[in-house]
């Protein structure tokens, strides 16, 4: 795609995104056109579109930002295409989405901004996205969806659960990847969850799920999951992972359930002969939020290449935490617990400019930590995180 086409796409999207309420209005207009003109497509989407709308705009923003980085964008789109097989999408669906999005953008941007040249640029961009996704989907031989049975549900905190499943068919994924998941009580409400263990021939997989107030899926998982539930999983996504035989030192920063894909990678690394040095900062608001410290401590005891530093924002546990003391005061091999905002603590803790960095957690934490590290001299190309939607 030439640079003029990219510039035209970016300018239109930025103009829409910069306006107060613009992204939401664009998403509403897009879905209204899509469902009016192609009513049969409505069945592919959940009844409540709130999270879907937000995700659509973030996904477009993510793609638009990377149009000039095909090395990163095309693998991402290919993964998304493989994942979309779970919806049973066809070339006709992609064409309907492309046309509806162009109509929504055109209507929203107005005639001054939405020229024929701009429309052609968007058509070219959306064609590239659709063809990359459909080609990857057609070439994939793994199942479009995996089914798994819940074999354990552990309520670790009032608002956080660990759920283990046994898949009917083992999934091949890289430690550090995430997948979209659908639980039985929330049909069509797929949510991304990161696998907390590496792939294994037994087909066992573990997820750490936090319940967000007002959320559709998190509270249902934490409140109602029982052994025997059947979940659906889409194809693996994401590019986190530590290369074999790399000598580059690693800095990992994970907050809350963000620890899941990091611990999966550490567990995978324990099976290797040699590993680079890894410094993991594990953060949470309260001490009880560091719910997996015992595992990390055990890994650190057994593996000299791993250093683990706990970070909390407050040394007090919340009032609802029944076990009022520090939940893990005596764990061996951990660095001294730090108190403060995690990005600030990590940036001040050393020179990370020659490290490969992974950051996982809620989007604001990822952004803040990334900016802190960049300001401290870490090159942007050394910092990786999953898409923030």
Give dist(CA 331, CA 14) in Å, integer.
49
Interface segment toward ligand FAD; rule CB under 6 A; list 26-34, 123-131, 214-222, 287-295: 214-222
Binding ligand FAD by CB under 6 A: which of 210, 263, 279, 370? 210
- Residue from 212, 227, 315, 348 touching ligand FAD (CB under 6 A): that is 212
Q: Does 260 bind ligand FAD (CB under 6 A)?
A: yes
Query: How many CA atoms within 13 Å lie on the side-chain side of 5?
Result: 14
Per CB under 6 A, the list member of 79, 159, 177, 257 interacting with ligand FAD is: 257
Binds ligand FAD (CB under 6 A): choice among 171, 209, 233, 264? 209
Selected from 51, 142, 197, 374, the binder of ligand FAD by CB under 6 A is 51
Q: List the structure tokens of 291.
A: 């719910």
Among 208, 263, 279, 372, binds ligand FAD (CB under 6 A): 208
CA distances to 126, 143, 200, 243 from 275, in Å: 41, 33, 20, 9
Distance of alpha carbon 189 from alpha carbon 192, whole angstroms:
10
Q: CA–CA separation, 366 vs 386, rounded Å?
A: 9
Site track for ligand FAD across 298-317, x = CB under 6 A:
--------------------
State the minimum distance, in angstroms, from the CB of residue 194 to ligand FAD. 4
| E strand or H helix at 213 | none
Q: Which residues contact 316 (CB under 8 A, 6 or more apart)?
A: 286, 287
DSSP 195: B
Q: Does 216 bind ligand FAD (CB under 6 A)?
A: yes
Closest CB 79 distance from ligand FAD, rounded Å: 11
Q: Which of 376, 342, 375 is nearest to 359 (CA)?
A: 342
Contacting positions for ligand FAD (CB under 6 A)? 51, 54, 178, 191-194, 207-210, 212, 214-218, 257, 260, 362, 386, 389
């Amino acid at each position: 795609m030439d640079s003029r086409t990219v510039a035209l796409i970016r300018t239109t999207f930025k103009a829409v995104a910069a306006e107060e309420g613009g992204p939401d209005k664009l998403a509403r207009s897009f879905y209204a056109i899509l469902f009016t003109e192609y009513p049969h497509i409505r069945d592919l989407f959940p009844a409540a579109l709130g999270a879907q709308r937000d995700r659509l705009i973030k996904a477009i923003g993510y793609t638009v930002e990377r149009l000039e980085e095909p090395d990163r964008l095309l693998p991402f789109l290919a993964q998304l295409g493989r994942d979309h097989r779970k919806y049973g999408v066809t070339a006709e669906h992609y064409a309907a989405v492309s046309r509806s999005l162009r109509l929504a953008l055109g209507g929203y941007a107005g005639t001054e901004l939405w020229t024929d040249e701009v429309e052609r640029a968007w058509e070219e961009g959306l064609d590239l996205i659709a063809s990359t996704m459909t080609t990857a989907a057609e070439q994939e031989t793994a199942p479009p969806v995996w089914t798994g049975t819940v074999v354990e549900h552990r309520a670790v905190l009032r608002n956080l659960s660990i759920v283990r499943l046994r898949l009917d068919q083992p999934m091949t994924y890289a430690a550090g990847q995430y997948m979209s998941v659908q639980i039985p009580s929330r049909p069509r409400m797929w949510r991304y969850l990161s696998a907390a263990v590496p792939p294994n021939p037994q087909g066992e997989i573990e997820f750490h799920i936090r319940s967000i107030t007002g959320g559709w899926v998190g509270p249902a998982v934490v409140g109602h999951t029982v052994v025997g539930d059947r979940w659906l999983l889409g194809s693996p996504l994401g590019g986190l992972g530590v290369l074999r035989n790399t000598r580059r030192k690693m800095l990992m920063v994970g907050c809350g359930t963000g620890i899941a894909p990091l611990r999966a990678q550490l567990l995978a690394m324990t099976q290797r002969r040699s590993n680079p040095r890894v410094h993991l900062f594990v953060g949470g608001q309260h001490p009880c939020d560091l719910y997996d410290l015992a595992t990390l401590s055990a890994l650190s005891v057994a593996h000299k290449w791993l250093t683990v530093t706990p970070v909390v924002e407050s040394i007090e546990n919340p009032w609802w935490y029944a076990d009022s003391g520090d939940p893990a005061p005596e764990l061996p091999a951990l660095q001294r617990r730090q108190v403060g905002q995690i990005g600030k603590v990590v940036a001040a803790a050393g020179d990370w400019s020659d490290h490969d960095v992974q950051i996982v957690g809620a989007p604001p934490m990822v952004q803040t930590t990334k900016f802190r590290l960049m300001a401290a001299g870490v090159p942007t190309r050394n910092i990786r995180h999953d898409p923030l939607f």
